[in-house]
Amino acid sequence: MKIIIEICTGSVESVLAAKKGGAGRIELCSALSLGGLTPTQSLMEYAINKAGIESFVLIRPRSGDFHYTRAEYEIMKSDIFTAKSCGAAGIVTGMLNTDGSVDTCRMKELIEMARPMKITFHRAFDVCIDPFKALEDIIGLGCERILTSGQAMDALSGSGLIAGLVEQAGSRIIIMPGSGINASNLRQLHQQTKAIEYHLSASKLKPGRMHFRNNSVNMGSSGADEYSIRETDPGLVDEICRIARSLND
C-alpha cells in the first residue's frame, strides 16, 4: 500500500511549498498556532486552484473544545457548502458531545451535506472519552479517515494506541497519525503503527519581510514574535516524501 504524506498548510506560500515538495495531499486551514481554524473563502479558492493535488479544508469555527453551539454549527454547515463550491476534495472536521463521545447525530448531518467530498474526522478524536468506541462510531458515520496523535502530545508518544486503532480498523477506515511527525521519526512511527498515511506541517519559522519593526507591540499573546512567519518548507516535504517512498519498497 502506497504511503501518503498529507501536509497541513495555512497560507498560499505553504500550499505551493507542499506541492513543490511532492506532498500527496494538503489540508488547508488558518491559525495553525491555535491548532487550525477554517480558512477564508478567498484562500480556499486560490489555494485549491493552485495546489493541483488533493485538497481538504478544515472545518473548525473556533479554537477550544469540540462541543459547538447551535450558531457555531450553522457556521460549520455554511463553511462546508463554501468548501464544496470551491472544489475541495474533502473536509476535516469533528464534533463531540459534552460527555466526550462523538456527536454522531450532528456529524451525520454534516457528512450528508458534504458528500461527495471525503471526510476526515480530526483530532477531536484525541480528547474523546473512549477511543475504540469512537472509532466504531466514526466508521459507522462513513468517514474515510481519522487524524490522531493517539491521544498523546505527539504521534510517537501515542504510537501504542495508534497501532491498536490501525489493527481494529482494518480496511474499514484509514488511521492517519499526526502531531510531531518529521523525517527523523517517520520510519520508527511506521514500524510501530503500520499506518499508511501521515499528517504534518513540515514547516519552519521564517523571518518576515518587514524592514521596519516595532517590537514593543504584540497583536496577540505577550512575547509572540510578530515578525516571523511559520511556513511549509519544500525541502522538508521532499525529505519526508523520499522516506515515505522508501518505505513503499
Q: Residue 71 is placed in which grid cell?
A: 450558531
Which amino acid does the sequence have at 94? G
C-alpha separations of 181 from 82, 154, 187, 247 in Å: 30, 8, 10, 15
pLDDT given at position 75 = 98
Rounded CA-CA distance 168/205 in Å is: 38
The pLDDT value recorded for residue 230 is: 87
Reading the block at residue 249, the C-alpha cell is: 519498497
Cα dihedral: 220, 224, 226, 231 (round 10): -110
Indicate the helix (H) or strand (E) that contains 55: strand 54-58
Three-class DSSP category at 146: strand
DSSP 230: E
The whole-angstrom separation of Cα 230 and Cα 246 is 28
Distance, CA of 218 to CA of 16 (rounded, Å): 28
What's the gap between Cα 246 and its chain centre? 24
Report how far residue 8's alpha carbon sits from residue 109's, in angstroms, rounded to the nearest whole number.
25
pLDDT of amino acid 54: 94
Give Dmax over CA atoms of the chain in angstroms.
55
What pairing do the DSSP bridges indicate for beta strands 203-207 and 228-232?
antiparallel
pTM above 0.75, yes or no: yes
Alpha helices in the chain (DSSP H): 12-21, 41-51, 70-85, 104-114, 131-141, 159-169, 186-193, 234-248
The CATH code of the domain at 4-248 is 3.20.20.380
In angstroms, the CA 9 to CA 32 distance is 8
The residues of the chain scoring below 70 in pLDDT are 220-223, 249
